[in-house]
Structure 1
Amino acid sequence: MPAALPRPEHRQLDHEVRLEWGREGAALLAAGCSVVIVVDVLSFSTAVDVAVGRGAAVLPLRSVERDRPVPPGVVRAGPRRGPGPSLSPASLTGLSAGTRLALPSPNGATLCAAVAATGAVLLAGCLRNASAVAAAARAVGGPIGIVPAGERWPDDTMRVAAEDALGAGAIAAALPGRSPEAELAAAQFAAARNRGLRDVLAATCSGRELHAEGFAADVELAAALDASAAVPRLRAGFLRAA
């Protein structure tokens, strides 16, 4: 009889930096890590970085909650093609400091909700703030979980998203003690960086969709490696500068 495979919850307990995908990965890592980094490059985490970098605070909303009441004084993000703030990072570059923005997202915000319920420290990471988020995660102490969000197939199962692998890899590359999964993401990031992150992001499925829909500026913003020192951390329900 072949030896039994280790149970998933025990796979990475001997690594300081661990990586798992999607909702299930977020739940698994939040149960065993001091800090969990949610990575949704196109576009939730990038939008959060832009907003927080301008002194705003972001209330993550799952897409199914987009119409739920929000606290007084909170601005609700609108459709991507609307005139005001939205999930498009480019729409947030003029956001005023002190703005409190409710931002619906089917992937990144959903993972934030899953992690928030566990009490783990939650950070939002992307290519723009990879080094800053990695440093902040190390400062917390204890095991670090990195969760690339991925996209959803029509049946609501997760689809691996190359852009999220690269964002997770950029963060993992700045951290020691990586699991094999985190090490692979770091290697993918290094290869993409050698080719040109902007070109690689633009060639992904999500990047092509955004270009076709007229949101090429969002891809440009997302590809700006370490352009930001913002570290969005969830406090009292809002992602704010750490």
Structure 2
Amino acid sequence: MPVDARPEHRQRAYRVRLEWGREGAELLAAECAVVIVVDVLSFCTAVDVAVGRGAAILPQRSSDGDAAAQARALGVQPAGRRDGSGPSLRPSSLVDLPPGTRLGLPSPNGATLCATVAATGTALFAGCLRNASATAAAALAVDGPIGLVPAGERWPGGTLRVAVEDALGAGAIAAALPPADLSPEAELAAAQFVAARDRGLAAVLAATASGRELVADGYAADVTLAAALDTSVLAPRLRGGLLQA
């Protein structure tokens, strides 16, 4: 969003604000003390699984050219292809990650937005359904406004595709924050989450467009991992350029 965004678009009347995608990340990083990027399928879920194993993640823009070479230059293990056998963007590929691993993980949505926020120096968390309550509590401990950024997906032409799963992840975090602090955008995301939770998060995620894509490609286990609400007590935060506990 351009720097001259209208005051009404900045949600300054509320401590907890929500905006989508790259423009939303840029706006909220300039306005908030802490930004939570939410990419449920699958970057932020992968981060949560990895950090739960005692690893740390370098978020990389997918447009940075040779991400593997960049990771090696920084002394970080590069991620493999999603259809390979090693650690990758698939959360299920990280469940046995050795503690102490430092992994470079590129993605066009969550990782790219995390790198965007990281460049501003604003406190950054990677949020998802698995760590929603823990992330909300950690964000509240930072004095100042909280920005929620559901990452969304991309259409083939590069424009933003609003992704239900990211609205639900952001809503789960919003639902764990004080209701009086929520902007209408955050409040209604919380309501979406509650409705999906009541229907069954695993079934809802698997039925979304993104979930169906992963299931069709053979990655149903990643959807199941992503739907595991509040199974993590960690809130991955950017420290020293890496997302870690």
SS at match of 1:31: helix
For residue 156 of structure 2, what is the aligned residue in structure 1? 154
Query: So what's the TM-score if we normalise by structure 2?
Result: 0.94
Preserved contact between residue 10 and residue 27 of structure 2 (Cα < 8 Å): no
Amino acid across the alignment from 1:50: V
Residue 80 of structure 2 corresponds to residue 78 of structure 1: yes
CA distance in structure 2 between the partners assigned to 1:9 and 1:73 by the alignment:
44
Query: So what's the TM-score if we normalise by structure 1?
Result: 0.95
CA distance in structure 2 between the partners assigned to 1:110 and 1:206 by the alignment:
18
CA distance in structure 1 between the partners assigned to 2:222 and 2:96 by the alignment:
14
Aligned residue runs from structure 1 range 143-222, under 5 A? 143-176=145-178, 177-222=181-226
CA distance in structure 2 between the partners assigned to 1:51 and 1:73 by the alignment:
17
For residue 13 of structure 1, what is the aligned residue in structure 2? 12
CA distance in structure 2 between the partners assigned to 1:115 and 1:72 by the alignment:
19
Question: Which whole-Å deviations, capped at 9, do the CAs of 1:54-77 have from their partners, x for residues lacking one?
Answer: 100000111122244224542111
SS at match of 1:24: helix
Which aligned runs of 4 or more in structure 1 are off by greater than 6 angstroms?
Answer: none
Q: CA deviation at 1:8?
A: 5.1
Q: CA RMSD, aligned part only?
A: 1.2
CA distance in structure 1 between the partners assigned to 2:121 and 2:52 by the alignment:
24
Q: CA deviation at 1:236?
A: 1.5
Q: CA deviation at 1:81?
A: 1.1
Question: Which whole-Å deviations, capped at 9, do the CAs of 1:25-83 have from their partners, x for residues lacking one?
Answer: 00010111000000000000000000001100000111122244224542111111101
For residue 54 of structure 1, what is the aligned residue in structure 2? 53
CA distance in structure 1 between the partners assigned to 2:54 and 2:81 by the alignment:
22
CA distance in structure 2 between the partners assigned to 1:9 and 1:101 by the alignment:
39
Distance 1:131 1:149, change over 3 A: same
For residue 29 of structure 1, what is the aligned residue in structure 2? 28
CA distance in structure 2 between the partners assigned to 1:96 and 1:147 by the alignment:
30
CA distance in structure 2 between the partners assigned to 1:109 and 1:194 by the alignment:
30
Amino acid across the alignment from 1:42: L
Amino acid across the alignment from 1:215: Y
Amino acid across the alignment from 2:199: R
Aligned residue runs from structure 1 range 223-242, under 5 A? 223-241=227-245
Q: Work out the percentage of aligned pairs sharing the same amino acid.
A: 74
Preserved contact between residue 9 and residue 28 of structure 1 (Cα < 8 Å): no
CA distance in structure 1 between the partners assigned to 2:79 and 2:8 by the alignment:
36
Question: Which whole-Å deviations, capped at 9, do the CAs of 1:74-101 have from their partners, x for residues lacking one?
Answer: 2111111101000000000000110000
SS at match of 1:103: strand
CA distance in structure 2 between the partners assigned to 1:8 and 1:21 by the alignment:
17
Amino acid across the alignment from 1:127: L
Amino acid across the alignment from 2:138: A
SS at match of 2:63: helix
SS at match of 1:82: coil
Amino acid across the alignment from 1:16: R
Aligned residue runs from structure 1 range 122-161, under 5 A? 122-161=124-163
For residue 3 of structure 1, what is the aligned residue in structure 2? none
Instruction: In structure 2, list runs of 5 or more residues that go unmatched.
Output: none
CA distance in structure 2 between the partners assigned to 1:62 and 1:9 by the alignment:
30
Preserved contact between residue 20 and residue 29 of structure 1 (Cα < 8 Å): yes
Instruction: In structure 1, list runs of 5 or more residues that go unmatched.
Output: 1-5
Aligned residue runs from structure 1 range 92-131, under 5 A? 92-131=94-133
